[in-house]
């Protein structure tokens, strides 16, 4: 997946349009280095035209020795003899004009072919991790959690993350982030057997914090037309492109949600400290056990976790048999940030709720500590897992029988 270094967002958008689906844009060289640290299979760095030439040369020289399999493509507004000579001496693989999208794409393709030759393989498989945020009861803050967790995992561009809104009747991911998508998962209906990365890329909406969103349909009556087969196909294609896919689901055991759970590596179960919710979570856990869904990969998040209500985290563990992995206390700041369309992890990275999301991201990525090249925004890592797909419906039939 090519990574573009370019401070100007309009230039980045123009470059992304001529590069393969899954390409990523970052605004600083520091974030480019963070991206490379997370992606050992990266094959090209595209340095945009507004990056000062002397810095572009420094990066070329650095990568020539530290990452010889990673090509550097310099995109410049003007190609002069001095620019070409200095770039080649620094180790840049190609120098191309910004005015020629075809030249940019051709240079990236040459870099890919070189990488394949160096690796001795005709193909490079990428499989991201799927994290599903789920609750058996509505109104517990599931969408707020999914959005903030996705932003933490993205690390402001160091990782490529997509939030998939599978609350197909009443999904709120887009509006929570003040996004107004031109396309939703509805536009993939009918593509169960043909959907590919390029087609799906055209349905995604980009958030300014380097997060992509596949929005839910605008109207509830579309829900029944989004088949379980389409859900499985969408998740499969997203895994090929993204490092992490965070799924916000409906509070139900419907076919679409069950399909998502079957494709999930890690499940974040969301609960609040009230008896009806905990009862529902208890029943849901028993159902997950019966269907053998994600044993050992369930993470309980207690939202609005104020022990003054009379139920402690220890009591929750005794009731559910599952130790809370994270707690987010009630806060007007979180509600205000959500209402303003700026998730708390962006509005206030040092807020206790933001730190809780960062810590959960670290747990999911199995990292005890997380470097944050993101002082400007908030973020941190993501999930790992170990639950394969393709088993749920067989198990469910067996359980029902």
> pLDDT for 215-248, tens place per residue?
999 999 999 999 999 999 999 999 988 999 999 9
For residue 398, pLDDT over 70 is answered with: no
All domains in the chain, ordered by first residue: 3-119 (3.40.50.2300), 129-400 (3.40.50.300)
Across the range 145-167, mean pLDDT stands at 93
Mean pLDDT of the residues in the chain: 86
Structure confidence by residue, pLDDT tens digits, 335-387 = 999 899 899 999 999 999 999 999 999 889 765 433 333 333 333 333 333 33
Across the range 310-319, mean pLDDT stands at 85
Burial per residue of 358-389, b for 16 or more beta-carbon CB atoms within 10 angstroms, e otherwise: bbbbbbbbeeeebebbbeebbbbbbbbbebee
Report the pLDDT value the prediction gives residue 177, as an integer from 0 to 100: 93
- The predicted model scores a pTM of 0.79
Residues forming a β-bridge with 4: 25, 46
Number of Cβ atoms within 10 Å of the Cβ of 147: 29
The pairing of beta strand 244-249 with beta strand 129-134: parallel
Q: How confident is the model at residue 129 (pLDDT cuts 50, 70, 90)?
A: very high
Report the pLDDT value the prediction gives residue 396, as an integer from 0 to 100: 44
Integer-rounded Cα radius of gyration of the chain: 22
Report the pLDDT value the prediction gives residue 155, as an integer from 0 to 100: 86
């Amino acid at each position: 997946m090519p990574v573009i270094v370019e401070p100007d967002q309009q230039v980045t958008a123009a470059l992304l349009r001529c590069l393969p689906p899954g390409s990523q844009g970052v605004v600083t060289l520091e974030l480019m280095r963070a991206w490379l640290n997370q992606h050992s299979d990266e094959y090209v760095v595209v340095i945009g035209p507004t990056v000062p030439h002397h810095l572009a040369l420094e990066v070329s020289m650095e990568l020539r020795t530290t990452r010889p399999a990673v090509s550097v493509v310099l995109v410049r507004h003007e190609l002069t003899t001095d620019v070409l000579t200095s770039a080649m001496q620094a180790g840049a693989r190609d120098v191309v004009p910004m005015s020629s999208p075809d030249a940019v794409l051709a240079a990236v393709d040459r870099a890919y072919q070189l990488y394949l030759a160096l690796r001795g393989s005709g193909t490079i498989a990428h499989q991201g991790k799927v994290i599903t945020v789920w609750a058996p009861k509505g109104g517990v803050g599931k969408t707020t959690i999914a959005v903030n967790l996705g932003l933490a995992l993205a690390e402001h561009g160091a990782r490529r993350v997509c939030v998939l809104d599978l609350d197909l009747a009443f999904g709120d991911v887009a509006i929570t982030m003040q996004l107004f998508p031109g396309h939703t998962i509805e536009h993939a209906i009918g593509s169960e057997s043909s959907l590919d990365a390029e087609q799906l890329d055209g349905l995604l909406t980009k958030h300014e914090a380097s997060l992509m969103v596949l929005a839910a349909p605008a109207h509830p009556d579309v829900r029944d037309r989004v088949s379980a087969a389409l859900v499985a196909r969408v998740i499969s294609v997203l895994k090929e492109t993204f490092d992490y896919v965070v799924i916000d689901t409906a509070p139900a055991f419907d076919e679409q949600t069950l399909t998502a759970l079957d494709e999930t590596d890690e499940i974040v179960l969301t609960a609040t400290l009230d008896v009806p919710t905990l009862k529902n979570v208890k029943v849901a856990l028993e159902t997950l056990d019966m269907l053998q869904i994600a044993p050992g990969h369930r993470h309980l998040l207690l939202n609005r976790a104020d022990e003054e209500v009379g139920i402690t985290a220890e009591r929750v563990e005794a009731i559910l048999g599952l130790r809370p992995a994270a707690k987010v206390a009630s806060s007007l700041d979180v509600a205000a940030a959500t209402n303003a369309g700026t998730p708390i992890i962006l509005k206030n990275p040092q807020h206790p709720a933001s730190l809780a999301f960062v810590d959960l991201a670290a747990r999911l990525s199995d990292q005890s500590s997380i470097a944050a090249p993101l002082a400007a925004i908030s973020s941190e890592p993501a999930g790992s897992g170990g639950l394969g797909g393709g088993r749920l419906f067989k198990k469910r039939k067996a359980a029902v029988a």
